[in-house]
Structure formats: structure tokens, C-alpha cells
Amino acid sequence: MNGFYVGEHSGLDPFGHYNGTTVPLDWDLAEEYTLSDNFYSSVLDYSLPNHWHIVAGQAPAQENVTQEGGINKTKFNVSTVIQYDHQYLNESNATESIEDALARDPRVTWDYYDFPLSNYSNASSIQLNANGTQIEHIGLAYAYFNPQAAKYESYTSEFDSHFVNNTRFYSDARAGRLPELSWLIPPGQFSDHPPDNSTDSQAWLASVVDALEASPDWNSSVMYITWDDYGGFYDNMDPPAVYGQQLGFRVPLLIISPYSTAGSVSHQFGYFESVLRLMEWRFGLGCITKLDCEAPLPLWGFNFSGPPRAPILFPTNFSLASYPYDSNWNASALGPPAPYFPPEEFTYFPDGEAPDID
């Protein structure tokens, strides 16, 4: 575990950290609900393969070497990029994911809150400049945070209605029509990726937790919050290998539920496929690979012996946040627990949402 300093080219960034002063909302969520400190990303790699493991327990062997938005960060020439990206799409279409299991059991409702799909031809296109030497635009099939956008089947009538805008989460929660399974991906501006301000991502996170807590669905819900990779920060824990798969470094896992024990820290081992396994197990969907079939179920920190806990609203204005959590902050600014309307900055993007970034 001594390669972080070298990997950063002798920079000190890996040795920084965030405490309750700099990320009070994250710390408050951990204090009021359950935190896992023995939870790992699935692969020692970037965002996209880890998102694949979250929904499929596996990832295509060929990595996507560009991304939605037309940003080309590779050392390859254009023809090689196109060759690799087409190979990535071919392998993606051959990769089974949980949406295939859900198709076999249409009784289970689900949505993927990120962006709606259009058509596969546009989504899989790569547009070059006039002389063919530079990528000008690449379609949504290559988006890092929705791996299933790379699959042709996602654009068919059986699946496309399940891929919706992330801002719809608020109205669905308010109306009590959240599906039984859902994935919620933040807008790029609020994804905790540098150089965006982490105070914005904390405020967004508070807004979606508040929306769930104020929802008629709260008493029967659990929200698992995690980060798709470790962000480059030093860790003293050597990530293990399971079933031949080298896991990535530890990432936080917050378990938000009316049955989560306040202030509980679980030391139980888990990784991204644990959440996938819970979905499969809860609804009898079967499993896909050994990684999810054998993953530990993340049923840590729950107390089902008593009544559900009342909602705990968190400020979405960072200036009002503090750690430890102050129950006397002006919660009336959010209105009553239901219905909950988030601040406009979380639902309205006149310049568009920032593209997915690694």
C-alpha cells in the first residue's frame, strides 16, 4: 500500500482527507444512519467498469476509451479509438445485466434515474471533424455512469421507458410512485468529481435523502449511497480478491432507512455486488456471475423490531449544515416533511447537465 505517493507523481493530494467540518452533511448522514467501513469497489479501475459491476456483476473486457460529450483523453489515434469503442459496444451487448433478469419478471418495477434514451443509432454514433482527425461528439451509449446505455436492448420498447431523467426522482418520491428498484445517478455538477465543489454534491445528496424521507414510500425503503471509486486517496486497507476478482479500494457505503440504526458502523465485508445481490435476492431474480451470486447481503445496521424512524431532514443550503447534526437548524425552510420540493438548482439546468466524467 505504498504506491499512492508515486502514483500521484510525488504530489500530496492522496494524503488529504475530509472531516466533519469540510463535509458535514456526509458525516451527518453517517451519524444519523449506518456507515460501512469495510466496503470495496469491484475493480481497480475507473468509473465505468465499476458501474458495470453494480448492475451486472461483470464488465466488458474492452474498455470504453472515450466518453459522452466528445472528450477524448486517450493516446490512441482516431481510427483506433473507433475500433475499440465499437468493440466495447459489441461486448456490452453480449454482457448480461440485471435488466435481463427484470425482463423475465415484469412484475418488479424499476427505473434508472440518469437520462432518457433516444435511439441506438444516435446513441452509438461517433462524429468526427471535417478532415476526420478529431472526435467532435460521441453518443450517450458511451456514458460512464449508465453502462446499460451501451446495450441495444435498452432502446427497445421493453426497456427504454425505464431510463428517465434524474430530476424525476423528486416528483416520483413526492407522489409515492417510486419503483421497487431504482438507481439514482447525480448530475455531473453534483457528482463529487473535481474540480466541482464538494459542497454542491453534499447539498444534492441531502436533497435526495430529504425527498425519500418525505415520500409516502419512506417506511418501506432503503437507500444505499456509495461512490464509484476511491478518488485517489490513500487507504491503509489492502483490497482483497474474491473468486478470482481483484477488488478496488474501499469506498464509503451509507445505508439510509427508517430501520437503520443511528450512528451504527458496520465492519461486515461487502462490495458493489452486495447491493446487486440484495436486489436479486429480495425479488427472486436469480443471479448472474459468481461475484453477485456469492456476495454478502448488505443487511447491516438494521433494526426491524421496532417501528420505523421518523424522517430527519437535512439542510440543502451548505451554510446551514454542521457536524454533529443539529436538530434545531431551521428545518422549516424545507417546508413540512411532505410534500418536499427541492431547490430549483437541483431540477433546472439552463446550460444542461455536466457530462459524465471519470
Q: How many residues does the chain have?
A: 358
Q: Flag whether pLDDT at 308 surpasses 80.
A: yes
pLDDT value, residue 155: 98
Q: Flag whether pLDDT at 356 surpasses 70.
A: no
The residue ranking higher by pLDDT, 46 or 225, is 225
DSSP letters, 235-271, are -SSPPPEETTEE---B--EEEE-TTBPTTEEE---EE
pLDDT value, residue 277: 98
**Per-residue pLDDT tens for 222-246?**
999 999 999 889 999 999 999 999 9
Cis before 339 (ω within 30)? yes
Percent of the chain predicted with pLDDT > 70: 94
Question: What architecture is domain 4-45+108-115+166-346?
Answer: 3-Layer(aba) Sandwich (3.40)
**Per-residue pLDDT tens for 188-203?**
999 998 778 899 999 9
Among the ranges given (75-84, 89-98, 160-169, 262-271), the one the predictor scored with the smallest mean pLDDT: 75-84
**Per-residue pLDDT tens for 118-169?**
899 999 998 888 888 888 888 999 998 999 999 999 999 999 999 999 999 9
Q: Tell me the three cell numbers of residue 139.
A: 453518443
What H or E segment, with its residue span, contains residue 205?
A: helix 198-213
Residue 293 in contact with residue 277, Cβ under 8 Å?
yes
